[in-house]
Amino acid sequence: MALDRWIALIFVVLCCIYAYAAFFTMDDLLPPFMQRNPIWPSTFPKVLAVMGILAGLVVLLGLEKPDPTAADRTPDIDYRRLTDYKLGQALTLLAAMVAYALLLRPIGFLAATVLFLSAGAMILGERKLYILIPVAALATGIVWYLVQEVLGIFLSPYPAFL
């Protein structure tokens, strides 16, 4: 089996575990007034889990592959040539995600998110800091406003010591 199908299989298994949690464990502790709502806190995770399973099955079953007789057929991922791919960027981006998760409480949502978006874009090759930083700050501010004010979910914008 090709590497992309192995990754899809692992992805489907993870999505099935996530779906189990979303469908069977998240709604048990809801207060009675929320049980009558048409949309529960688990609605988005349920939709996300089903979409993830479907997307993984498409790759696993090979439904996304073009016609094999087509002249412009793209080659599969070759696990023997992993050094030809940009693994450094991928691993650095994963490390940035872990750092973002660890820095979220100590330095606050606003600073951590602006730093993560800026660092992530720089890892992926963006070099125009005069565009990058204002866009990251604007996106962070909009997300914070929507979560805090529109949805009413408290999201600490500042460092924990303030």
Q: What is the spatial distance between Cα 27 and Cα 37, in angstroms, rounded to a whole number?
A: 12
Contact present, 25 and 99 (Cβ < 8 Å): no
Q: State whether 65 and 42 are in the same domain.
A: yes
Last residue of a domain, one of 11, 38, 70: 70
How many DSSP H helices and E strands does the chain contain? 5, 0
**Structure pTM?**
0.57
140 burial level (CB within 10 Å; 0-12, 13-18, 19+): buried
User: Which of 69, 140, 71 has its CA nearest to residue 108?
Assistant: 140
Structural domain boundaries, residue 44: 1-70
Q: What is the spatial distance between Cα 14 and Cα 142, in angstroms, rounded to a whole number?
A: 31
Q: What's the total number of domains in the chain?
A: 2
What is the 8-class DSSP label of residue 43? H
- What is the arithmetic mean of pLDDT over 80-100? 86
In a domain? residue 77: no
User: How many CA atoms lie less than 13 Å away from 30 in the CB half-sphere?
Assistant: 18
In a domain? residue 78: no
pLDDT of residue 142: 94
* Digit-coded pLDDT (tens) for 99-129: 999 998 899 899 999 999 999 999 998 889 8
pLDDT of residue 138: 96
- What is the arithmetic mean of pLDDT over 56-75? 72
In a domain? residue 75: no
